[in-house]
């Protein structure tokens, strides 16, 4: 744990972008918090406060920044995006891709506002967590979050009263479930809500993850009406209503993900995509044996500077519940021995190369959720929901600064004068660069103190006090 004796160059370099968001005093606390998120192993308010010697304040100052400061999260995010879009390398590009995904921010205990007991697919069990829904941008040069929102668990009393108030009937025979089986009662109410969520008044009663995703994409279209970037998402978000919303309401191209259990409608009837893939494999191998035309064709796509090879099937089919879709089935192995990846798109004229390239850009949102947690996404101890949302907003800033740095020549020149190494790498690499610079700053701080005639004990006193605070 290295005491922070001065704000890192990366924070100082970009701080002016956020001056319109904060008061002068709040800006100092913002810079302290931002520095701590990048440099501290402990990303909590207490952990950050302990290692920041520069502008040393009481821990309550950082708490007030998150709980009481009047700054706008919308303004903060707007300035973050303006910073990124000011650099050619991180600017939105014609071949960019938007992706939708969510992640669990897990915590021990349930004493956090709006926390819920949610199923964690990675662990195969339920955990206490907040759920963060993200709209992410990616191209071959960069990627970063655009918008994000924390999901809130449904308020069953509010939902019940709201449905009644809108004249939507609830079955009397279900009311006993409130006491006898609350889980079934919850599922029943949500089922009624889903059937009527097409009405604006009903949709306003509760925001599901899908509804949050719809709102984030609607906001994108309102603010960027001329940027028809494709949207990609995994199997959970590939639901008929969501796809229809993107196609008909927002006029956005999409690439969704299907499972082997989804069904394709053929002339002889509907069969599972798992069966369909097996059928195509058999036809492909037979064609190769007999010198015919293969069913799967070798394609190559460019992704983040690399070349990737797939064996791909692409054709328009009717998919059960989705209607006509462009269907792509990809294998990584030439003999088709691995598990297939199955995608659909509403652009019926697109080919497998384009669809596969676009779908490949879903991965960066997964990386952000993992690397963002290294920046502190889930390392808060705040109980207040608004404060937690602000913490996440500042984490997004920290991540974005590390994403902007490799594309900023002025910043690179400043850092190169102090750290004589090649400055080119990933977000974890840039985090290490900032820590190396912080170590250099600490050495200079001690050296200058000794050069001024102070004893080592005098120089070290504030540093030791910070570490032991």
Do 331 and 396 reside in the same domain of the chain?
no
| Segment (H or E) for 223 | helix 209-223
Cβ burial, residue 89 (10 Å; 0-12/13-18/19+): middle
Q: Can you give the pTM of this predicted structure?
A: 0.91
Q: What is the 3-state secondary structure (H, E, C) of the chain?
A: CCCECCCCHHHHHHHHHHCCCCCHHHHHHHHHHHHHHHHCCCCCHHHHHHHECCCCCCHHHHHHHHHCCCCCHHHHHHHHHHHHHCCHHHCCCCCCEEEEEEEEEECCCCCCCCCEEEEECCCCEEEEEEEEEEEEEECCCCEEEEEEEEECCCCHHHHHHHHHHCCCCCCHHHCCHHHHCHHHHHHHHHHHHHHHCCCHHHHCCCCCHHHHHHHHHHHHHHHCCCCCCCEECCCCCCCHHHHHHHHHHCCCCEEEEECCCCEEEECCEEEEHHHHHHHHHHHHHHHHHCCCCCCCEEEEEEECCEEEEEEEEEEEEEECCCEEEEEEEEECCCCCCCCCEEEEECCCCCCHHHHHHHHHCCHHHHHHHHHHHHCCCCCCCCCCHHHHHHHHHHHHHHHHHHHHHHHCHHHHHHHHHHCCCCCCCCHHHHHHHHHHHHHHHHHHHHHHHHHCCCCHHHHHHHHHHHHHC
Provide the 3-class DSSP secondary structure of residue 261: coil
Do 136 and 187 reside in the same domain of the chain?
yes
The values of phi and psi at residue 408, to 5°, are -110, 100
Do 72 and 141 reside in the same domain of the chain?
no
Do 287 and 226 reside in the same domain of the chain?
no
- Each of the 469 residues of the chain gets a pLDDT tens digit; together they read 677 778 888 999 999 999 999 999 999 999 999 998 988 888 888 888 878 776 655 557 888 999 999 999 999 999 999 999 999 999 999 999 999 999 999 988 778 999 999 999 888 999 999 999 999 999 999 999 999 999 999 999 999 999 999 999 999 999 999 999 999 999 999 999 999 988 889 988 999 999 999 999 999 999 999 999 999 999 999 999 999 999 999 999 999 999 999 999 999 999 999 999 999 999 999 999 999 999 999 999 999 999 999 999 999 999 999 999 999 999 999 999 999 999 999 999 999 999 999 999 999 999 999 999 888 999 998 899 999 999 999 999 999 999 999 999 898 887 776 665 666 667 777 777 777 777 777 777 778 878 888 888 877 777 777 666 6
Asked whether 311 and 298 are in contact (CB, 8 A), the reply is: yes
Do 240 and 111 reside in the same domain of the chain?
yes
In a domain, 3, yes or no: no
Domain-terminating residue out of 347, 373, 399: 373
Task: Give CA–CA dist 419/405, Å, rounded.
Answer: 14
Cα dist from 366 to 67, 178, 286, 345, 362, whole Å: 29, 38, 38, 21, 8
Do 287 and 339 reside in the same domain of the chain?
yes
Do 244 and 259 reside in the same domain of the chain?
no
How many beta carbons lie within 10 A of that of residue 225, not counting itself? 9
How many beta carbons lie within 10 A of that of residue 256, not counting itself? 25
Do 56 and 100 reside in the same domain of the chain?
no
Do 73 and 107 reside in the same domain of the chain?
no
In a domain, 89, yes or no: no
Asked whether 346 and 254 are in contact (CB, 8 A), the reply is: yes
Provide the 3-class DSSP secondary structure of residue 313: strand
Do 386 and 412 reside in the same domain of the chain?
yes
In a domain, 2, yes or no: no
Domain-terminating residue out of 325, 358, 391: 358
Domain that holds residue 338: 254-358
Do 200 and 229 reside in the same domain of the chain?
yes
Q: Could you report the per-residue pLDDT of 61-113, keeping only the tens digit for each?
A: 888 999 999 999 999 999 999 999 999 999 999 999 999 999 999 988 778 99
In a domain, 439, yes or no: yes
The number of C-alpha atoms within 13 Å of 364 and in the hemisphere containing its C-beta is 28
Task: Give me the pLDDT at residue 469, please.
Answer: 64
Work out how many domains the chain is built from and give that number: 3
Task: Give CA–CA dist 118/109, Å, rounded.
Answer: 13
Provide the 3-class DSSP secondary structure of residue 462: helix
Q: Could you report the per-residue pLDDT of 187-228, keeping only the tens digit for each?
A: 999 999 999 988 889 988 999 999 999 999 999 999 999 999
Do 334 and 456 reside in the same domain of the chain?
no
Asked whether 344 and 238 are in contact (CB, 8 A), the reply is: yes
Task: Give CA–CA dist 192/286, Å, rounded.
Answer: 50
Asked whether 66 and 391 are in contact (CB, 8 A), the reply is: yes
Tokens of 98: 């938007």
In a domain, 225, yes or no: yes
In a domain, 331, yes or no: yes
Task: Give CA–CA dist 95/303, Å, rounded.
Answer: 11
Domain-terminating residue out of 373, 407, 433: 373
In a domain, 61, yes or no: yes
In a domain, 88, yes or no: no
């Amino acid at each position: 744990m290295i005491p922070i004796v001065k704000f890192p160059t990366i924070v100082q370099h970009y701080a002016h972008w956020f001056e319109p968001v904060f008061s002068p005093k709040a800006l100092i606390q913002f810079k302290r918090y931002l520095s701590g998120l990048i440099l501290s192993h402990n990303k909590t308010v207490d952990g950050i406060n302990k290692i920041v010697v520069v502008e040393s304040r009481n821990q309550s100052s950082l708490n007030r920044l998150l709980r009481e400061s009047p700054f706008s999260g919308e303004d903060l995010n707007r300035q973050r995006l303006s910073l990124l879009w000011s650099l050619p390398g991180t600017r939105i590009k014609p071949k960019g891709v938007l992706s939708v995904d969510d992640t669990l921010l897990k915590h021990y205990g349930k004493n956090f506002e709006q926390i819920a007991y949610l199923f964690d697919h990675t662990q195969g069990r339920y955990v206490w967590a907040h759920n963060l829904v993200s709209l992410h941008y990616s191209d071959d040069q960069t990627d970063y979050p655009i918008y994000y929102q924390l999901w809130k668990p449904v308020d069953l009393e509010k939902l019940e009263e709201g449905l009644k108030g809108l004249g939507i009937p609830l079955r009397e025979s279900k009311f006993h479930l409130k006491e006898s089986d609350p889980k079934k009662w919850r599922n029943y109410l949500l089922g009624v809500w889903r059937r009527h969520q097409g009405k604006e008044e009903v949709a306003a009663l509760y925001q599901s993850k899908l509804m949050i995703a719809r709102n984030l994409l609607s906001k994108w279209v309102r603010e960027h009406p001329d940027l028809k970037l494709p949207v990609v998402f995994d199997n959970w978000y590939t639901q008929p209503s969501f796809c229809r919303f993107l196609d008909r309401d927002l006029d956005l191209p999409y690439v969704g993900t299907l499972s082997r259990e989804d069904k394709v409608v053929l002339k002889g009837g509907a069969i599972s995509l798992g069966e369909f893939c097996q059928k195509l494999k058999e036809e492909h191998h037979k064609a190769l044996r007999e010198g015919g035309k293969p069913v799967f064709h070798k394609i190559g796509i460019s992704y983040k500077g690399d070349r990737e090879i797939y064996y791909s099937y692409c054709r328009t089919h009717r998919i059960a519940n989705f209607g006509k879709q462009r269907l792509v089935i990809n294998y990584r192995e030439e003999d088709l021995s691995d598990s297939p990846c199955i995608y659909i798109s509403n652009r019926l004229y697109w080919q497998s190369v384009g669809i596969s390239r676009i779908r490949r850009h879903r991965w960066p949102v997964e990386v952000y959720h993992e690397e963002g947690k290294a920046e502190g996404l889930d390392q808060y101890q705040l109980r207040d929901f608004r404060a937690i949302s602000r913490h996440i907003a500042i984490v997004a800033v920290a991540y974005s600064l590390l994403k902007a740095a490799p594309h900023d020549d002025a910043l690179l020149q400043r850092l190169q004068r102090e750290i004589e190494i090649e400055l080119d790498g990933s977000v974890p690499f840039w985090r290490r660069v900032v820590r190396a610079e912080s170590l250099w700053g600490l050495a200079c701080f001690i050296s200058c103190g000794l050069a001024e005639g102070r004893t080592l004990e005098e120089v070290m006193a504030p540093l030791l006090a910070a570490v032991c605070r």
